[in-house]
Amino acid sequence: MRNRIYLFASFLLFAAWGKAQTPNFSEDVAPLVYDHCYSCHRPGGPGPMPLTNYQEVYDFRTLVKAYVMSGAMPPWPPDPNYQHLAGENYLTDAEKNIIGDWVDGGAPRGDSTLEPPRPYYSDATFLGPPDLAIRMPVYASQAGSSDDYLCIALDPGLTTSKRIRAIEMIPGNKEILHHVLVYADSSGSYTVNQPVNGCTGPPNGRLLGGYVPGERPIQFPNSPDVKMGITLYPNEKIIFAMHYPAGSLGKLDSTQINLHFYDDNVTGVREISAGSLLEDWGLFFLPNEVKTYDDSYGPIGSDYSVLSLFPHCHLLGKSWKVWGQTQSGDTIRMINIPHWDFDWQGFHFFDYIKKMPAGSKLYGECTYDNTAANPHNPNNPPSIVTAGLNTSDEMFLVYFHYLPYEPGDELINMDSLLSFPVSIPHPVSQSKIARITPFPNPSQGDLTLDYYLPKGGEIALEIRDMQGRLVRKIWNGKLAAGQYHTIWDGQTANGVQASRGLYFATLVMGDERVSTKFVME
């Protein structure tokens, strides 16, 4: 009996030791860093330091823990409990604790062979080489004691219409670029490459997209079943409506737009519109005042599908909430930002397209804090603030991407269609390995992985979960050059159906690897 008691006690001690084991980088921390931090903290990215490997994360481990545990990083102001959005980037409490326990436990590396593949981004872009890149001439900011607004026309040089499937802005000087709105304009009122100061946008231009701090590329749904985009016509110029804040006088900028087009032979692309449907220019704040403004739009005359929204205000902003309401009184949740962060704003695409039935209305509500307790208040002590274009003024704007509704739009999973490539092959490597295309995406069973190998060799094709853990090795061996269509039956290595969620498909050839995200439903 005594032996049994000792054996049982030893088992409990061993179990407790195993449970309290310190997380390691390779298996526990690297999947979190690569999925949530790498896109910004990489060479050419907007993050202040690189976090691309064990040594770099180890060197900044104390800082990483502090920012992660406080919730400051990764930055994701929208409340996921109110409405899920495409590309959500936040850590759960359990994931935060993994990083905290790792740092507190001495930050061990673990077995480096178990580390998941690192993402790779092409230069400073998320989306890789564009179909058309246009850079504005070098401009010296005129913003001395007041902000500098200007419009500059760029010539795309198109001879035929092109349908835009993605837009990426590459700011030339992140330190001084407050924002840029991008329009298509056919008025001929602007001379190419000649700045027009005091301009906030062409009166009759079509909004395409824009850039603000924290903004990531805009991608429109593009799959075998659903294609959406915005047409750019040959008679149109691209207009940058630029804003440089006071105090940036003489500093230089040369911002670039990268446009990704659909191939000319692609049919069935649905046209998207963009515009500010909610706005209020009557803002007025007394010193030491917390105040809420709201606006509404509608009722709309026919059914519409809403893809995204972009709430915008300045430094007094405290919180945002945007929603829709049907004629019968049902609420259509859109976004709730409990703690507004001026540095992290932009277009937010929904996880699923929102249907706005005929008769519905849009509502927006923003709370502003013009007190000394607001650490971002541009005035010390607080003073009267009104609506205006300067950073020290305030704004109430909500932009939307929308289009006429078609049956089934609300079933379209935007999160999977708009996922950024986890890994983009380096241009010099494209002779060896090409990007994987998963179909259908999302998948409810068999998934086809299409890829092309210009050159034969030893190939590994793997499925991994969002923590970087191996789910199934589909192929491991030699393949000749050519086009391949490999089917995964949705089963794990243990013969169990994979659970719902996001996964990586990773193709490895020597030291080259390419990954893409897909969804299992």
CATH number, domain of 254, equals 2.60.120.310
Judgement on whether residues 190 and 204 belong to the same structural domain of the protein: yes
Number of domain units in the chain: 4
Judgement on whether residues 396 and 471 belong to the same structural domain of the protein: no
Judgement on whether residues 260 and 278 belong to the same structural domain of the protein: no
The span from the CA of 225 to the CA of 246, in Å, is: 47
Residue 23 domain flag: no
pLDDT above 50: residue 371: yes
**Could you list the residue range(s) of the whole structural domain that residue 35 is in?**
28-105
- Which range (48-62, 291-305, 421-435) has the least confidence? 421-435
> Mean pLDDT in the chain?
86
Residue 429 domain flag: no
Judgement on whether residues 184 and 244 belong to the same structural domain of the protein: yes
Judgement on whether residues 309 and 172 belong to the same structural domain of the protein: no
Which amino acid makes up residue 158? Answer: L
Judgement on whether residues 243 and 146 belong to the same structural domain of the protein: yes
pLDDT, one tens digit per residue, over 330-368 is: 999 999 999 998 878 788 999 999 999 999 999 999 999
Sheet with strand 317-325: strands edge to edge: 289-297, 361-370, 317-325, 331-337
Question: Is residue 444 within 8 Å of residue 521, measured between CB atoms?
Answer: yes
Q: Provide CB contacts within 8 A for 402, sequence distance 6+.
A: 272, 273, 274, 304, 305, 306, 307, 356
Run of H or E residues at 312: strand 304-312
pLDDT, one tens digit per residue, over 105-154 is: 999 999 988 888 777 655 556 777 889 999 999 999 999 988 898 999 99
Q: Are strands 228-232 and 162-170 parallel, antiparallel or unpaired?
A: antiparallel
Rg for the chain, CA atoms, rounded:
25
Could you tell me the pLDDT band of residue 503, with boundaries at 50, 70 and 90? confident
Task: Using alpha carbons, select from 235, 145, 65, 119 the residue that is nearest to residue 513.
Answer: 119
Question: Is residue 518 within 8 Å of residue 416, measured between CB atoms?
Answer: yes
Residue 7 domain flag: no
- Which range (60-64, 346-350, 431-435) has the least confidence? 431-435
Judgement on whether residues 396 and 492 belong to the same structural domain of the protein: no
Backbone angles phi, psi at 247, to 5 degrees: 95, 0
Residue 159 domain flag: yes
Over residues 466-486, mean pLDDT: 78
Judgement on whether residues 165 and 208 belong to the same structural domain of the protein: yes
Judgement on whether residues 225 and 255 belong to the same structural domain of the protein: yes
Q: For residue 479, count other CB atoms closer than 10 A to its CB.
A: 17
pLDDT above 70: residue 407: yes
Tokens linked to 256: 């670039």
Question: Is residue 408 within 8 Å of residue 303, measured between CB atoms?
Answer: no
Residue 410 DSSP symbol: G
Q: Provide CB contacts within 8 A for 98, sequence distance 6+.
A: 23, 28, 29, 32
Which amino acid makes up residue 113? Answer: T
Judgement on whether residues 320 and 230 belong to the same structural domain of the protein: no
User: What's the burial of 97, exposed, middle or buried (CB within 10 Å: 0-12/13-18/19+)?
Assistant: middle
The dihedral through the CA atoms of 460, 463, 467, 469 has a sign that is negative
Q: For residue 471, count other CB atoms closer than 10 A to its CB.
A: 22
Judgement on whether residues 307 and 412 belong to the same structural domain of the protein: yes
> How confident is the model at residue 412, as a pLDDT?
87
Place of tokens 């996921």: 80
Judgement on whether residues 357 and 473 belong to the same structural domain of the protein: no
pLDDT, one tens digit per residue, over 263-278 is: 999 999 999 998 889 9
Residue 2 domain flag: no
